[in-house]
A and B are shown apart, each in its own frame.
Chain A
């Protein structure tokens, strides 16, 4: 069978999607995880439950709501369309938005437990020695959190690679824009192009295994910090 008919577009697109999503998730996940780890607010349990929702919801629930929200008449798609002329459904940006929601717990939860294990003592000590909050975070907390960040990054990335149901529902299967590997595999299986499906599937399997293996072996070497 023809291997050259295998198009690298979906592979690059998927890697791009996973990278952008993880970067956004680290940026918004850090303050969220920090807050969850330190707050005494009553809203904490509620927030924790919200963050964990994508773990238990079927992707179709998320996909269905997103299809409506991101569309031209939706709460998000509507204003976006008014601003940019196009709604978010069927766009790469829309997929990034969907993936960010979908992979949120995979980034927030490791960071949160990491921050919890560090406790508030190192931050307080640094502040008492005159460091600003930002300075204390970047020069004390971050280096102590390498393990948490590594886990969060890898899990967020790998989980976005494996996203399927949500993308199927809001992506529209557009080459170069929303056709990710998982959709490509689905299509190939459906038209009985098993050779291509095998190559992509085995590739994804191997790739996912290797990054998980890497993270677990690095994690073993990194020190754990418990105050």
Chain B
């Protein structure tokens, strides 16, 4: 403390820095959005627009839905959860960690089968998985990632689950699954259609949108978390997501209409 007394200039400049750091908070609210990996790039794009129109600041945190859920249960300081399923938001609502009645479906996910190797696909179906000329099939971990669970349902339904066990690699979330494929470490894999749409320009290869009736619908739900009950920015952001205009944009990212 002596240093401050001896040197009022330092004290003044520290005070000024402190005030300047505080300034944006006084004008607009900050909002922390925890988002499932598949929706990360979409939410970043949407947030930019939201920030432009409202002057609120959006901070995005992404991981698999399972991990975000565990973190939120342990008190992670997030305001909104954009999950890749409806199960976790439902649980949060039941356990009183989410605000009752704030839960809604913001997107319906589509699963896609993709390979960088165009020679693998003969026709638009799963028959490619009967072939011996690929080494690894990548899926997201079904235990933690809803897209992985959907992939498991498809593989079970079509009788590939058991026979492909030894050739399956599991990404910890859908982003890592995608990364296994892009780096060529896995030959073929189930990812989110939105990931493909988003990277269309850089990606060569072959993709096929898996019929959505082959798995339970991937209803991606949002929920307002209790700590943000009075956060105006959070409520505005959820309304923004619900709006028809934004819903159209989300559809164009590779999601099914609600």
Q: Measuring CB to CB, which residues of chain A are less than 8 angstroms from any residue of chain B?
A: 67-68, 70-73, 77, 86-87, 89-90, 168, 170, 172-174, 186-187, 189-192
Least CB distance, A177 to chain B, in whole angstroms: 8
- Is B67 in the interface zone, CB < 8 Å from A? yes
Least CB distance, B37 to chain A, in whole angstroms: 13
Least CB distance, B180 to chain A, in whole angstroms: 7
- Is B38 in the interface zone, CB < 8 Å from A? no
- Is B109 in the interface zone, CB < 8 Å from A? no
CA of A89 to CA of B66 in the docked complex: distance in angstroms? 25
Q: Are A191 and B144 in contact (CB under 8 A)?
A: yes
17 A-B pairs within 8 Å (CB atoms) are namely A67-B183, A67-B185, A71-B183, A71-B184, A72-B184, A77-B185, A90-B185, A170-B185, A172-B138, A172-B169, A172-B171, A172-B186, A174-B166, A174-B168, A187-B141, A191-B66, A191-B143
Q: Which residues of B contact A71 (CB under 8 A)?
A: 183-185
Q: Which residues of A contact B69 (CB under 8 A)?
A: 192
Q: Mark B179-201, 1 if CB is under 8 A from A, else 0.
A: 11001111000000000000000
Q: Are A173 and B135 in contact (CB under 8 A)?
A: no
Least CB distance, A93 to chain B, in whole angstroms: 14
Q: Measuring CB to CB, which residues of chain B are less than 8 angstroms from any residue of chain A?
A: 64, 66-67, 69-70, 73, 135-136, 138, 141, 143-144, 166, 168-172, 179-180, 183-186
Q: Are B168 and A190 in contact (CB under 8 A)?
A: no
CA of A67 to CA of B141 in the docked complex: distance in angstroms? 18
Least CB distance, A90 to chain B, in whole angstroms: 5
Q: Are A190 and B185 in contact (CB under 8 A)?
A: no
Starting from the known contacts A190-B144, A191-B144, 19 additional A-B residue pairs (CB-CB under 8 Å) come to A67-B183, A67-B185, A68-B183, A73-B184, A77-B185, A90-B169, A172-B136, A172-B186, A173-B170, A173-B172, A187-B141, A187-B143, A187-B144, A189-B70, A190-B64, A190-B70, A190-B143, A191-B66, A192-B73
Residue from B69, B135, B179 whose CB has the most chain A CB atoms within 10 Å: B135
Q: Which residues of A contact B143 (CB under 8 A)?
A: 187, 190-191
Q: Which residues of A contact B64 (CB under 8 A)?
A: 190
Q: Are B169 and A72 in contact (CB under 8 A)?
A: no
Residue of B nearest to A171 (CB): B169
Q: Which residues of A contact B169 (CB under 8 A)?
A: 90, 172-174
The 7 A-B pairs with the shortest beta carbon distances in the complex, nearest first, are A172-B169, A173-B170, A71-B185, A89-B185, A190-B66, A73-B184, A190-B144
Least CB distance, A58 to chain B, in whole angstroms: 17
Residue from B138, B141, B172 whose CB has the most chain A CB atoms within 10 Å: B172
Least CB distance, A145 to chain B, in whole angstroms: 40
Q: Which residues of B contact A174 (CB under 8 A)?
A: 166, 168-170
Q: Which residues of B contact A77 (CB under 8 A)?
A: 185
CA of A108 to CA of B230 in the docked complex: distance in angstroms? 57
CA of A70 to CA of B186 in the docked complex: distance in angstroms? 12
Q: Are A192 and B170 in contact (CB under 8 A)?
A: no
Q: Are A72 and B66 in contact (CB under 8 A)?
A: no
CA of A72 to CA of B141 in the docked complex: distance in angstroms? 22
Least CB distance, B255 to chain A, in whole angstroms: 24
CA of A173 to CA of B70 in the docked complex: distance in angstroms? 20
Q: Which residues of A contact B185 (CB under 8 A)?
A: 67, 70-72, 77, 87, 89-90, 170, 172
Least CB distance, A156 to chain B, in whole angstroms: 27
Q: Which residues of A contact B67 (CB under 8 A)?
A: 190
Residue of A nearest to B73 (CB): A192
CA of A96 to CA of B170 in the docked complex: distance in angstroms? 19
Q: Which residues of B contact A70 (CB under 8 A)?
A: 185
